[in-house]
Structure 1
Amino acid sequence: MQKLTLPDFLTWLRIVAIPLFVAVLYFPEDWLTVRQANVVSMWIFIAAAVTDWADGYLARKWNQVTPFGAFLDPVADKLMVAAALIVLAEKGLVDPFAALIIIGREITISALREWMAQVGQSKNVAVNIFGKLKTIAQLVAIPFLLFDGVLFGLFHTNPVGRVLIWIAALITLWSMVVYLKAALRPNVGS
């Protein structure tokens, strides 16, 4: 059995936080107002995003990269983003079509990576810049959508979040095309 490292623990913490993240948004109003629930859930999501960065950084810095951690980290990210998008769509805070594009892409690319690993071509669908840009756009958009209020008296976050999530959806589609083209490219060495 593999020893649990701090980076892997942080990844598990993100997964465990998902039910809390969702539950907070559905707490009765005598526990938390809608406004309070939105802010608490936003901070849970931001904390998850920070631990996503931290676990990768620490794993590399401390030479604690594990095969299980490499598998679990993207799963934790996708679960948190999918949970956020489903709840946001259900509450009318995001266009369900944008949420469907993002979640559908994640499922498609995960299946593609699994298939490519089975045929020994996983390097063809390694994470690229488009996947990283997609993640950044999502991790910025979702807190704006969760906050759903006026920020610093300057602007309402929902319209900004809606634009950002559509930008994320478009980058998501583009990155999916890039991954699919890379996967379908004939292997030069065969």
Structure 2
Amino acid sequence: MNLANKLTLLRIGLVPVFIVTVLTDIDYSLTIAACVFIVASITDFLDGYIARKYNMISNFGKFMDPLADKILVASALISMVELGLVPSWMVILIISREFAVSILRAIASSSGIVIAASKWGKYKTISQIIAIIMVLLQLPFYNIFLWVSLVLTIYSGYDYIYVNKDLFKEKV
């Protein structure tokens, strides 16, 4: 297993650490959880960079990297709903978009098509990471970043579906 894939697995392994930390009622638990989340988020950048730079791109990485991102972000958002930090309706919309794009990718894959991450998908991920960190640290204006993240999440989902709308046409 190459280094990029190990970093992806590390990100998944940090999810339970994050959940326990964020949901534990101790002094500075949200700050500690934010640090764990930041480390996990850095692995997202590093695994992609390393995979591209050192030609370590693998089928495992193509599948697991986006899955690891979704697990990390969904876990953070659901945990924050539990703590009353983020409204549940917002998290439902964000996770629904993730399911929709994953289903779209599965449909494409069944036809031998790989849907690469779009610039809007990357913006969405960056905005979600920033918003989650801001909420955990209770930084000023974190609500604005949550809204920006939600808008980018919805728009990127629309963009994936629109750009790949031909996948939904019945093949005769």
TM-score by length of 2: 0.92
User: Could you say which residue in structure 1 is the equivalent of 2:84?
Assistant: 92
Pick aligned residue for 1:177 from 138, 158, 170: 158
CA deviation vs aligned residue, 1:45-87 (integer Å, no higher than 9, x gap):
0111111101111111111111101111110000000000001
Q: Which has the larger radius of gyration?
A: 1
2:23–2:79 CA contact under 8 A, matched in 1: no
Spell out, residue by residue over 1:154-190, the C-alpha distance to the aligned partner (whole angstroms, 9 max, x if none).
xxx1x52221111111111111111111222379xx9
CA distance in 2, matches of 1:113, 1:14: 22
The aligned counterpart of 1:126 is 116
Q: Report the 3-state secondary structure (helix = DSSP H, G, I; strand = E; otherwise coil) of the residue aligned with 1:24.
A: helix
Q: State the one-letter code of the partner of 2:159.
A: V
Asked whether the 8 Å contact 1:14–1:51 carries over to 2, the reply is: yes
Q: Supply the AA of the counterpart residue of 1:160.
A: F
Per the alignment, residue 154 of structure 1 pairs with none
In structure 2, the residue matched to 1:168 is 149
TM, length-normalised to structure 1? 0.83
CA offset digits 1:111-131 (Å, max 9, x no partner): 110011112343xx4311111
Tell me if the contact between 2:4 and 2:50 (Cα under 8 Å) persists in the aligned partners.
yes
2:90 aligns to what SS in structure 1? helix
Partners of 1:97 and 1:166 in 2: CA distance: 12
CA RMSD of aligned residues (A): 1.7
Residue 15 of structure 1 contacts residue 80 of structure 1 at CA under 8 Å; is this kept in 2? yes
- Tell me how far 1:109 sits from its aligned partner: 0.4
In structure 1, distance between residues paired with 2:150 and 2:92: 9
Range 167-176 or range 73-82, more displaced: 167-176
After TM superposition, the structure 1 = structure 2 runs for residues 1-190 of structure 1, keeping only pairs within 5 Å, are: 4-27=1-24, 29=25, 32-33=26-27, 36-122=28-114, 125-148=115-138, 157=139, 160-185=141-166
Larger deviation: 61-70 or 81-90? 61-70
Q: Is the 8 A contact 1:85 1:99 kept in 2?
A: yes
Please say if residues 95 and 162 of structure 1, whose CA atoms lie closer than 8 Å, have aligned partners that are also in contact: no
Partner AA of 2:77 in structure 1 = L
Q: Which amino acid aligns with 1:74?
A: P
Q: Distance in 1 between matches of 2:120 and 2:23?
A: 34
Unaligned ranges ≥5, structure 2? none
